Structure 1
Amino acid sequence: MASNVPIIIKSFFFILILLNIKSFPLAYHIRTVPLILETFKNRNNNNEDRDLFQATESTYSVLFDDLDTNRHMNNSSYNKVLDHARGHFFAASFANYMWNHKVVIMQKSVLMIFNHEIPPFSNYSVYTRILTWDQKWLILTRRIIYR
């Protein structure tokens, strides 16, 4: 039956799938596998000499399925990107401590301030750093800069 479908329709659906690949079920979780592997790789590194307030850079691109009807990055896409950048920050900064003490990272709240839009298909970086902490919470700040 599949041989009766014209090649133009097959090509259209293939392109449609490629353009929306990040929106498929489990795509977010598959994208976190490299973070888990990075944490596993860095578990024996001694990060104690690392500056606690040093920012960690994560780079991303605005793809087709990140866009909204106004042709800029959708506001809901920021949460996924910032969550991924937070995982990258912890994997780079605290992998050894997290591995040895079985730390669970939970998010308490989020405050987002939108200063400008990120245009379609542009590259941008998320800089994550520690703002402050207390006995229970670690407060991070993230800044998105696009080029």
Structure 2
Amino acid sequence: MTKHRKIELEEQWLDTIPNVGQNPFEFKNVYRTTATLDECDWNMHLSNSSYAKILDSSRFETAVQLWPLFFRSGGTLALGATHFQFIREIPPLTNFEIRTYVGTWDKKWLYLVSKYVSKPKRRVPDKAKPLSPPDSTTGTPPPTRSILTESDGAIVHTIAIAHLCFKANRITVPPAFVLATNGFSTFPYTSPTPYSARNPPPHWQKVKNIASLKHGGSMRKFFKFMREGWKEVPEKERWWETALGGEVETRRVLALAELEPLQKGLDAALHVG
């Protein structure tokens, strides 16, 4: 392959990165699978141990779609923790999905939210039948078991929250940098036309200047920038944070206030016992 052809193919690949101009909070990956008999336990539902096993495959698929440039350049993803909230069992042979979203991020961690859902065969009521008859002496209504559903009516069985950390060798790379350099951005407030591969956000040219052979960059230069170059950029000039400003930053801060206590709670558990 000639050098010219290599440069051309590299540029074409960068132009086909699917997330250019997309709001990270609008991303959703759907991983479809089945609760096979070998994944179920003697209680006749998906085994607790299988949730993490299946999530690994789903998370890998999600990560490749979210951060192709990061992995292409040599970056690695470290899993710090995963929290599971079991809500409703998944019976054997049930077809279900793992729907994964970007929850939020801070300077080090990105929170990836995954929901295990199944599509009901019939309409699901807002609440299931009471667990016991009403108390005849006090008139207190009996407790009910709520059925959580997605906007399309899919039943939520389990929610998993993973804490992920991006690495270039042993150096931690800020999640905002990884998101922005893989095309994610806020909405263009100065134009009604949304950003896309055909109408890339302003910061995308900076990414190409580092990663694209055609623009004087390379994957090696991009990896070096991830490892040390970003630290040399003054905080007020960090274009990757500007790219995720506005509405995205507002939503990030609000979501972080809700999800960060989970991390703090897990850290506090280290002192128990």
The answer to whether TM tops 0.5 is: yes
Alignment of 1:69-108 (within 5 A): 69-100=42-73, 102-108=74-80
Tell me the residue number matched to 2:83. 111
| Aligned position for 1:138 | 110
Q: CA deviation at 1:82?
A: 1.1
CA displacement 1:16-41 (0-9 Å, x = unmatched): xxxxxxxxxxxxxxxxxxxxxxxxxx
Give the match for residue 270 of structure 2.
Answer: none
Q: Summarize deviations over 1:43-67 as a string: whole Å, max 9, x none.
A: 6432222331211111010111101
Moved over 6 A (4+): none
Deviations 1:97-142 (A, max 9, x none): 3212x21111101110100000100100001111111222111111
Letter in 2 for 1:91: V
User: Amino acid of the residue matched to residue 76 of structure 1?
Assistant: S
What amino acid does structure 2 have at the position aligned with 1:67?
C
SS in 2 for 1:83: helix
Alignment match, 1:61: 34
Does the 8 A contact of 1:60 with 1:125 survive in 2?
yes
SS at 2:24 equivalent? coil
Identity fraction in percent:
27
- Provide the residue aligned with 2:175 in structure 1: none
Gaps of 5+ in 1: 1-42
**Contact 1:130-1:141 at 8 Å conserved across structures:** yes
Matches of 2:58 and 2:29, distance apart in 1 = 8
Q: What secondary structure is seen at the aligned counterpart in 2 of 1:135?
A: coil
Partner Cα distance (2:36, 2:78) in 1: 28
Over aligned residue pairs, what C-alpha RMSD do you find? 1.4
Residue type matched to 2:49 in 1?
S
Q: Which has the higher contact order (CA 8 A, sep 6+)?
A: 1
Q: How does 1:9-88 map to 2 (within 5 A)?
A: 44=14, 45-46=16-17, 47-53=19-25, 54-88=27-61
Q: Which amino acid aligns with 1:128?
A: T
Q: Which has the larger radius of gyration?
A: 2
Corresponding letter in the other structure for 1:129? Y
Task: Supply the distance in 2 between the matched residues of 1:133 and 1:71 (Cα, whole angstroms).
Answer: 37
In the alignment, residue 54 of structure 2 is paired with which amino acid?
V
With normalisation by structure 1, the TM-score equals: 0.66
Asked whether the equivalents of residues 72 and 119 of structure 1 are also in contact (C-alpha less than 8 Å), the reply is yes
What CA distance in whole angstroms lies between the structure 1 residues aligned with 2:22 and 2:83?
27
Number of aligned residue pairs: give it: 104
Distance of 1:106 and 1:60 partners within structure 2:
24
